[in-house]
Every structure is written in C-alpha cells, then in structure tokens.
Chain A
C-alpha cells in the first residue's frame, strides 16, 4: 500500500506555485510552572497555603515599592506616615501604610453552602456578576493577623478583586475601617530584552480562540472550513499567508456537553476538531491550548488535551518528536517564539475578574461607562493583572484551582512581551508601558461569534485582523 502511494506521489508533478512556508522557531521553557501531571497531585492541602505563599512572595515586592513611594519623610496632615508590619498593628488616628491580600465580600458570589441547603446545588450556574449595585460589597485587606475594611473614594474607583496583594496608605477611621488615600502595586518585574530581528522578514503567528465546535450549529463547521482554507492559502492568493509560521489556539475548541447521555456528542466534536487539526498540520504547526469548555481539568491550571481523546491516526502527533509541529500545552502557558515571550491564557481569569467589577445589566448597558463591558474595559483589567503581577488573582476564591502548597504558578516572575487572553467578546490590543517595560496586550476574540483571527507580527508586534464571515 505504501509503495503504491509513493509511486502515486512520484508521478504527481510538483505544483509550480507551491511556496515554502516560513518557519517560526519555538523554544520550550525548561520548566513549565503550569504543568501538573495527574500522578503527582495531592488534594490534601487547603487553600490557605496558596494565599500564604502569595502574600509572602508579593509582600517583598510591594514593600520595595511602598518604601520608595511613601518614604520616611512622607507626611500626611503634618504627621509622619508609619509602616505597619501587620494589618492589625494599624492604630486609630495614625497615618500609616500596610501590605496585605485583598478579599472582596460580595453578595452574589456563588455560595455552595446556600445551594446545598436550598437544594439548588447542581443547577446551572447563571451568575453574570458577583457585585451588588446596591453597594453592599466590601473590600478588605487581610494578612495572617486579621482583616480591616477598606473605605474611601480610592476603593470605589479602583478595581479590586480577591487575591491581589497591594499596599495601602491611609488611616483607621472608625474601629475596623481603613480610609484609603493611596495604593501601591508591586515593584516592577524584569523583562528579557526584546530580540533583535535583523532579518528582513515579516514573520507572523496567528492567534485564535473559541472555535466552539458543536453539533448544533453547522455554521461553525463551515466557518472552520473557511478558516482552514484560508490558513492553507487556498482562498486568497495572498502571499502573506506563507508568512504565518504558527497557529496558536487559545482554548475552547469544542463546546459539547458530557452528561448522562454519554460522551457521544463530545466525541463527534473532537472528531471534527481532529480533522481540522490534521488538515492544518500538513501546512502549518499548531500550539493547542485547552480552555474552560475543553475536555481536560475543570480547575486551573488546565493540562494539555490527552491523546486518548483523538482518533488513533492522530495519536502519533502527540509524541514528543512532533512537538515542533503540534504542541499541546497547558492553560495558562508561556510560549517563547524567536526570543519573544508570549504569556497566554484561555480567558477564564479576565472573565472572572469582570464579574467582580462589572455589575450585571439587563441590556448590557450601564449609566456609568466605566462599568460597561467593553473591550477597552477588558484591556484595563488585563492591565491590572500585569500590575498585580498575578495572572489569576481570583483563583482559588472564585476560579477553581488545584490546591498548591508553597507555590502559586499564577504569580509572575517576569513580564512577558506579549500577553494574550483568549475567548474575549471582541478583539482589542494595547501597548502597556510599565516603567519602561513594554507589554503588548491582545484580547483574542471568540472565533465562533466574531469570525476573527489575530495575526501578530513577530518583529513589529503589530496586529492585524482577518475576519471570516459567512
């Protein structure tokens, strides 16, 4: 059979128009902090370990910045400002600053205890937002010693979510409440220098998320076909296509339910995904990241899709040797392309943070444009995660997470060059300048609803959008 095939291929004339696709070199991190092999897990830990570790690590970074900002000579109302080691050392009437973790007490946070009691547990979670427009939410600063309620304009105007570590400056007003006058983020992180691209090329990578394949919307499959044709260069005679050296899929490739009826639906969707992957892979390497809806862990960090999910014929692709061609990665994941660091996540972090910040409105509109769910706003929140130096601060409070002990992979050790968040309502990008370190942030839209693919130029870090519509 093979021999036959070879013969057939030999006879086939080379396509004169065939062009050689550009290649993008991807270097793997030595240690992927998000890797979590099933065999190594231990669920005996509680979550306080993570908060403890987080506070310990971040406190040093924040303190550095606080000291710089509110140094010894800093005075408020004529009184010198004092540093407090612990939240509970705060005394009434004395201007001071302290560092701690933020905890948000919110009315609509899902509460499993209530659900169990009211026998509603197991019903689909329809929570659109945790925040209460009536204003009963409380923001607290906490460390091992205790909690203090934060109040003041600063608090109402700045986004706060559980799990971030910051410094606050102010004074205790009434017992147990702290008037915040200023806040302080951790000291800037290092960033590896931008690589020099002297070659005169314009290599690109394509970012996509939210294919959301399912068996009920045939339109999605059709769009996928078009996408495939586009990436293979069959639709437009655009020479540019050969410059796309890699396709990165940022989660939510399938959207199928596995319930009592069994996994049939999921298997069908995976079948379609498998076809798509194997077709594309003939021409272009793929990095595949799972998302919330994909069949892997439900809690973060999500592990790479397992080869058992795919047809036998695809399984060899999962082998180590094929990694340059087909790389199944964790969510979140840090890619390094040609010296560029790309930090990517399938979007759960931002989608969850939005629930803390953006109140639910029937029509999606808000009188306060600050509170509207716009791409701009989402970019703001992405910016926040960079400033907080925490990719997913709301884990584990509202984002289900593996109970790490003495570790927290979501804390950033260095800033990436590119920060991509998948499965967002729309495309958006912003260049962030944090004390001279530049981060390109990209909100990668959901493909199934927007038809958008993001092309990122590796040299200029410029983005363009390809829109595939039916």
Chain B
C-alpha cells in the first residue's frame, strides 16, 4: 500500500526511521524547531556515546583479559595510560622528513581565504595575494599564498566610435592611472551580455579594467557610476558598472574554488616561503601563482573532509555578588578545553587550566597556576601548540573570547592576544551589527583569529532553530536529552575560594560545559552541514554565520555567469516599499473533521515554477522587445498572470532555472548516493549535502524578491507567487470538479483549506485507505495539468483533522494507512512566549486525547482536572512559570522587572540584565506586575497562586480554540466559568485579627479542638483509622517522590559524596524536589499528631 502511494522519483527521506528523541517540556507546542536543517542523529555520535571513556574497543567485561595476574598486568602496561596522563603531546605530526616541493605535490582542504600583500615581491605586476589556510589529508597545516590574481570590474564600452581603438584605450588607461594611484594594470575589451533582461542574443563590448590593488576598485567604480571621469567625456554621464564582488570571492570564483573545497598544488609549481619570511605557525607556508593551482569540485574523493582539529573551550569567571562578571575587575579562574579530530570517536585532549590548585579529574589533565597571568599565558601557548583548525564553544564570540582578551588587557599580559596562526597579528575585538530580514538585527562581537575558523554553537543554534530558551542547559536538554547540573554563577566564587576539592568541582563543571558544544556540534552536524553548504554555494565557511542568505545566491549566480559570458550590473541597493502579493490562502472551512482529509502538496513549489516557466533575469523581456523580434505568445514568450513577459527556454534558457536544475539534480544524486553509502561519516556528509542543496534551491526565489538586495527583480518574484496562486486555485477547481457525485464518485469532494503550496481535500469517504488512494490519484491527475517539473504530490492524510483557522490546525498524520505517524500541528505554537509550560502541556495532551484516543470526554475531563488543580493550588509550580529576559530599562512596570527589584531588596542579590527571570503570578488584589514572585519563594512561603490569572490569561484562549470546533463556542466557554475561587490571602493582619486566638483545628472537619484533643475532634474520632490511612498514604507518596528526586539529583551531579548544588531552573524536576521536601516535612508533622 505504501509503495502504491509513493510517486515515481520519490525517495525515502534519509534517516526518517531514526527519530530523534527530544526531551524536556520545551519541545511542546511552544517550540517547534523551525529550522530548515533537519536533525538526523549521526551514527558517529551514537557510537561515541555508548563508548564513553572506556578501556578498549572491546567490551569492558573484558573477554580479552586473561585471568592470570601477570598476564593482566602486562596488558595494563600499555603506553596509552602514560601518554594520557603524563605527557603533553598534542601537537601535529611532523612533516615527512623527505618533504621537497620539487617531488611532493600538496593537496589541502582550504578553510579560510583572506586578502593580503606580499611586501617585497610581485607576481604578474601585483603584490596582492589571497591567503588560504588549510589542512592536508595527513593533517598538516598549511598557509598558501596565491599570487598574480588581479581584481577587475566591467563597464560598457562608451558609444564614442574611437572607444575601441587600442591607442585610445591606452590613453584612457593612463588617465585612470593618474587618478587612481597607478593601480590599473590594463584594460581588455571583451564581449559580454548583461544578465538583466532579454534583448536579443547580441553580445556587447565591455571594458574589463584590471587593477593591481584591489582596494581601488570601489573608488573607481564610484567614479564611473557618478560620472566623475572627465576623459573625453566618455563616462561623464555616469554608467552602470558590472560585477561588484569582493576580491577574495572574485578570485575563488574565477579559479573555481568554493568554500571548504580541496586545492592541489602540483609538484614543482609552488615555492616554500623561506624561513625568515614566514608569518605563520603553519607547518607549510607556500606560494603559488593562481594559474598553477588545481581546484577540485567537491565530488568523489574530493568530497572528503580533512582531519580538522576542533577545540571546544569554556571559561569560568569569579564574579562579585550580584554583578555580572566584568573583565576589568573579575578574574578568569578556569579554562577547560576539549579537543577532537573531526569524525573521531572521542576527544583526544581534555584538560582544565586553573588558577590555584585543583584535585585531579580522572581522564583529564589539570594545569594549575599560581596566578591568573600565568594561566592566560599558558593557555595561549596551549592553543598555539595544539593548533586547532576550528574553535567552537557556547557564546564564545560574545562572551568567552572578548572576556579573555579584555581580561588579558586589564592584567597587561601583552603576549596573550596572539593565538591565531599569524604570529604577528594581534587578536582584536570589533563590534558589528548584523541585520538581515531572516534573522533580525543583532549586535555582535567579532574576533579575528586568523587561520582558525570559529563556530559559536549559540549563534548556530539561534540561526537554525527556534527554541523557547537558548541557555546551554535548555539547548542540551532539547537536543541531547539530558539535564546538566547547573552551578549558579554566584556559587563559583565561593567554590574557587575553597580548597582544591571545591575547585575540582568547578573544573568538572567547566569541563562539561566545554564538552557539550562539541557534542551538540556532532549531534546537530553543524560542521558537516555547514561545510556542505559552503561547498554547494561556494562561499567561505565563515560567511555562513556572519552573513545573510543573499551572499550564497550571489556566489552561485556569479559562478554561473562566468561560464556564459554574462555580467551582473551593480545595482544601487535601496529600500523600497514596493510590495507584491504573496501566496494565496484558501479560506479555511473551520471545524473538526472526523473523516480523512488528504493533503496534496506541490513539491518545491517556487523552484519548480521558476524552472517550468523559465523565469530569470536573463529571460525577462518587455512588450516592445517581443514586438521587435516578432515573437509568438506561448511559443517564444509567455505572459505571467502578473503581466510580466519572459521568453521561453526555446529562445533562451534562464540562468536561475539552470542553477535550480543543477541544485535539484545534485540533490537527487546526493540522496541516491546516500542510500548506497554505508560508512557513517560519509553518510553524514551526503546528508548534509542534500540538505544544503535543498536550502539553496529554496533561497533563490527569496533573493529575487529581496528589495533591499543585490539584485532584486520583482517581476520574477511576483510572477512566481502569481503562478503559485493560480495553481492553488486551479487545483481546488480541478479536484472539486473531477471528484464529484456527477462523475460517479460517492461524494462531492471539498477543498477545506489551502495554503501556499498545499491543499487539504475532503473526499467525503470515511475510509482512510480509500482517501489515500483518491489523494494519490488526484495528485497525479492534477500534475498533468501543469508544466514539467511542477509536480503535485500526495504525501499524507490527516484523520481526524482539527482546522482552527488560517495557518492554525492540528491533525493525526498518516502516511501509511495501518499506522499513524504523529500528531502534526501548525501554528498552535503561536502560544505566546510569555505563556507558561502548562499551556503547551495541556494542549498537547488534549490534542492527543482528541486525535489519537478519540476521547473527547477524556480530554474535557483532563481539562477539568487541570482547572481543578489550579483552583486548589495543586498544579506543579514548575509548569506555571513564566520566564522573561531582563532588559536594561523599562518604561512601564513589568512583572519580571518589578520582581527583580523586590528580590534585590529582599535577598541582596537578584537576576542581572540579560538573565531570564522566572516568576509565577500570585493571588492578591494588587496590580499584576506587583504579583510576580520567585517560584522558590512561593514554594517556601506557601503562597497561593493566582488561579484566576492562570485560567483566564493563560489557559482559556488556547484551550477554547481547540475545543470549540468540537463542542461549540458556548460549551467550550462554559468550562472556564468558575463559580467561586477561594483565595487565601495568607497573612491576615490588623483590625480585629489581633483579638483572634489561634486554635488547632480538627484534621477532618476543621472544627476547633479542645485542649488535649487531637488530631481529631470527638465527632470525627470514629473515622480515625480511615483518616489516618489517608494522611499516611499522602506521606508514603511524598516519601517515594522525595527519595527518587533527590537520588536522581545526586546521580546527575555525578558524585555521591558531594552536595548537590544545582540551580538549573530549566530542569523539569528542579522545583519539584523543593516542593516535595517542603510538603513532606509538613505532612509528616501532621502525621505526628496522631
């Protein structure tokens, strides 16, 4: 059956059978990961975990260990233990002794490219070079200077008749040289065509102006464009210039080098840089002319990765109470490092640099230092010696690196900021503001570590996944499925001031924080996926985190244009308010459908529209051109529903459709290879590749529509959406027309909803199998109505289906009629970020009950139970926590800000700006912002939560929205009508209360007790046994919970003999254990009255 439903050419998604186990409540409705990168657990990770830090490859239960004493000992005598513990061996393997540039060719994977100059030599008239840092297959580091390449720009040859005369060109060259620092090398006249618009096939002459100093290109460009050049008034009116692109990227494009690709330097063609002229710590430093190097596309053997050395680190600072550490005053006390080789099973370096002594940690090295200065110097030496190719960490760009550098500055450790590969280049902090439509505006700090890539996992995850919280705790709980012990930064100072044992505690914690980024990187395949993205789009690796989406399309566009003699105009980027109509949404027929709803999807809708209709810059044409060339509609050109003209591929094949075809073709190949590949690491690479290809294909459309962009073309983007809209409407018509009673079907079909690239069809049948069959048929039928490669697919059916509103629905998701896949929900996550976890928990459970168990009664019962719990103050407080980040200043009083003030007054310390503040809303008649309270404080003081707030402001709307389609608005609302809420105001003070005497009350009827009576009044005495058992079983329950919670924390802390210090508020049991402790104590006191 499944096979029947698969459409030809459709392949199994890689790893679809491997489901990632997500953990923590965070994955509830509140946060669907919305990344375009899917997580597929990598095999290497799985192995890694199961192996841990164990003895050998073989089972520890040790079948290989002979039972005899002596034999065992000789086995134990292996060198590894000594290496692991006593020697500082972490440098790279040395070069082969017989290495000689005349006899050895070098192949290396380049990681980074930068523009530089060779001070004393010139090649082809320029001393400008592009410096590549890379690693060879054998793990040797290399710096390769590529010489001789000259930057250039294009301008159209002026219309003056003499402009093509070589002599005239020579004098123009001279003129330019006089004005631009003698940097023009030569001007060639070449035939090119502009990418913009179709105006016939003819090529036009262009000046290609080569310069020896790339920095003058932009000045010259401005001069051309603004008409500052007075030479013979050729350009006095200004002209469009072409091919505006950065020098290094230009060089890479022209040499066919893409990001993270391999380069071969043939033997005899390159020169070693003499020892005294070397500038780097790389093992090899060579020079080669750009024409001599061989660049390899990332295919076959060249799709491998070199053994990159990855360093992950974390620092601990000892702050003052209540103040976030400041590098000017607060010392760095520990730096933990974990270093691994890409693809290896386990890290080969684990160490901690500490100030003051520290007890040993098994399997890790401790370097103790008397002073902070010594530690910083030693760490710097360590980094240089260990020579990592990539430095990763969590928030390293904005915290760890700037802090270290500023701290070294404060301590006057002059030698510290030199841990890049260029030993004379100082590491400095620059601030930049990155602004992108997709990622918003962020201020961030950059540190130049020449020759080493940086991958800040925080930035990576923020870019690729939408989560409720981005703390390392939350992120590792989410992706790795484990909670970690969190030592609050206020405790760090006291641990440091303790003895070597407490500092060891801290070191273990620090080491774990250094190890987690490495594990996250492996799990999320950050390196692999980004490497493939760099290769597919051609941009250097570092661009992927620091630049937006456009540069990737630009890079591909330039590469393609180079091959077909096309040049790209430099358009002045200007913000425009010009809007175009987006995708269409068919008005939903809201309701709860207890019959199968088939979903028909256009696969890669926008790319396939562009391919099908040949929409591109190069095919865009106009009415006048069409008339001029006497073209025929629909044969030579088309008119889009938007009214734009494009020539058909018969006339000219567009660049964008070609790029897209290549991307999609490459993705198909990658997926096919993936299927046949068995080696886990290669599998990861291929999977990363196919994902990168998919993402790239989808970003092309966005590029054409980005009005603040390099090359916006609304004619393309609005034509694409207009085609899309028509297709959705046409699909609706076609399906409803064909699948109708009048055509012999049992029911009239109905499109209940449609959005962008999918339509939901109710065929009317209650049989899932039949609905799926009809869905597949309908998809095939409708596909025939559209041009190749537009393809409508049937993938899934929802049964039942709850359609709440536009972009908001939920349903049980079936791809196989025998077993459902999951609950799918869209847009219900629009639960506001300031809602508490209980909302998503309740929604998930209600959906589960309604959709899977088909138990509406049960769902309602559950909601009632929750409402009841809230009213009786029984709800788990950790599920009621609302959490907000504290900003520096607020104009209006905000609950969390007011609470922060109150906490500072109360305890002397409180959250800092930038911290997330957790609070719950407590009962009372004050303003809401005055009723936010710290959950721990609430637990400790038995405060009443504001049940009304939680019911009406948190639960009510989301719950009603999913229940109303089933029950009807009225009944749904009725659930939340609470007759009375008993609010215990807690401390009653003043007035007549002073005269009231406190009297113990009967445990059962709450009546006052006489002296000597207890715990029950004489009336309730008869029920004594029953009541005792009730009280006792309360205690029994709590005893078990108490035991289980605290032993769990003891285990998680990784030590039985040390106190649990954890303050990880993201942990699901953090508040629970506090609550249990308190409740148990109270209940046991009650019980003791018996």
Interfacial residues, chain A to chain B (CB-CB below 8 A): 37-39, 41-44, 46-48, 51-52, 55, 76-77, 86, 88-93, 95, 101, 103, 110-114, 116-119, 135-136, 138, 142-149, 151-153, 155-156, 162-163, 171-177, 179, 181, 258, 262-264, 266-267, 270, 295-299, 306, 308-311, 396-401, 403
Contact = CB atoms under 8 A, between A and B. Distances in A.
Contact of A179 (B72, B1029, B1088): B72
B1084 A38 contact: yes
Contacts of A263: 1025-1026, 1029-1030, 1033
B1056 A48 contact: yes
B1088 A400 contact: no
20 contacts: A41-B1081, A55-B1057, A77-B70, A101-B1056, A113-B483, A119-B841, A135-B59, A144-B1055, A144-B1058, A146-B1055, A151-B60, A155-B61, A174-B56, A175-B85, A263-B1025, A263-B1029, A295-B1033, A297-B1035, A397-B1047, A400-B1039
Given A38-B1084, A55-B1057, A258-B1029, A175 B363 contact: yes
B1048 A111 contact: yes
**8 A-B pairs with least C-beta separation:** A400-B1043, A176-B363, A38-B1088, A92-B81, A175-B84, A176-B362, A263-B1029, A298-B1036
A355 to B, nearest CB: 15
A138 B60 CA distance: 9
A37 B1084 CA distance: 10
Contact of A310 (B73, B1025, B1056): B1025
Given A38-B1087, A43-B1080, A43-B1081, A266 B1057 contact: no
B1057 A116 contact: no
**Contact-residue bracket for chain B:** 35 or more
Contacts of B78: 173-174
A63 to B, nearest CB: 17
Given A149-B53, A171-B73, A179-B72, A47 B1046 contact: yes
B1081 A47 contact: no
Given A117-B25, A297-B1036, A400-B1043, 10 more contacts: A43-B1080, A92-B86, A113-B1067, A114-B23, A118-B23, A147-B1054, A175-B84, A308-B1028, A396-B1043, A397-B1051
Interface string B555-570: 0000000000000000
B61 A179 contact: no
Interface string B927-954: 0000000000000000000000000000
B85 A92 contact: yes
A273 to B, nearest CB: 12
Contacts of B1051: 397
B61 to A, nearest CB: 4
Nearest to B1046: A47
A391 B418 CA distance: 60
B73 A93 contact: no
Contacts of B97: none
B862 to A, nearest CB: 12
Given A48-B1060, A93-B77, A310-B1025, A43 B1084 contact: yes
By CB atoms of chain A within 10 A, which of B80, B1032, B1040, B1059 has the most?
B1032
A123 to B, nearest CB: 13
B22 to A, nearest CB: 9
B360 interface: yes
Interface string B361-378: 111100000000000000
B1084 A173 contact: no
Given A38-B1087, A152-B72, A112 B1045 contact: yes
Contacts of B359: 86, 88, 145-146
Contacts of A299: 1039-1040, 1042-1043
B1024 A308 contact: yes
A39 B1088 contact: yes
Contacts of B60: 135, 138, 149, 151, 177
A174 B841 CA distance: 46
Contacts of A138: 52, 60
A103 B25 CA distance: 29
Q: In the complex, which of the residues A101, A295, A296 has the most CB atoms of chain B within 10 Å of its own CB atom?
A: A295
Given A88-B360, A173-B55, A263-B1033, A46 B1046 contact: yes
A172 B360 CA distance: 14
Interface string B57-71: 001111001010110
A177 B1040 contact: no
B55 A177 contact: yes
B106 to A, nearest CB: 35
Given A92-B81, A174-B84, A308 B1057 contact: no
Contacts of B1090: 306, 308
Interface in B1034-1081: 1035-1037, 1039-1052, 1054-1060, 1067-1069, 1072, 1077, 1080-1081
Nearest to A403: B1046
A143 B1057 contact: yes
A396 B1072 contact: no
A299 B1044 CA distance: 10
Contacts of B1047: 47, 396-398
A263 B1057 CA distance: 40
Contacts of B216: none
B82 A93 contact: yes
Contacts of A176: 53, 362-363
B54 interface: yes
A407 B1067 CA distance: 30
B356 to A, nearest CB: 16
A135 B61 contact: yes
User: Which of B82, B361, B1025, B1037 has most A Cβ within 10 Å?
Assistant: B1025
Contacts of A91: 85
Interface in B604-636: none
Interface in B536-580: none
A463 to B, nearest CB: 33
A116 B1040 CA distance: 14
B25 A267 contact: no
Contacts of B362: 88, 90, 146-149, 175-176
Contacts of A270: 1025
A202 B292 CA distance: 106
A89 B50 CA distance: 27
Contacts of B53: 149, 175-177
A49 B1040 CA distance: 19
Counting chain B CB atoms within 10 Å of each CB, the highest count among A39, A47, A175 belongs to A175
B1030 to A, nearest CB: 6
Contact of A42 (B73, B1054, B1081): B1081
B295 interface: no
Contacts of A306: 1028, 1032, 1090
Contacts of B1048: 111-113
Contacts of A86: 359
Contacts of B845: 119
B824 interface: no
B108 to A, nearest CB: 32
A153 B1029 contact: no
Q: Which of B24, B65, B86 has the most CB of A within 10 A?
A: B65
Contacts of B1088: 37-39
Nearest to A50: B1056
A146 B504 contact: yes
A108 to B, nearest CB: 14
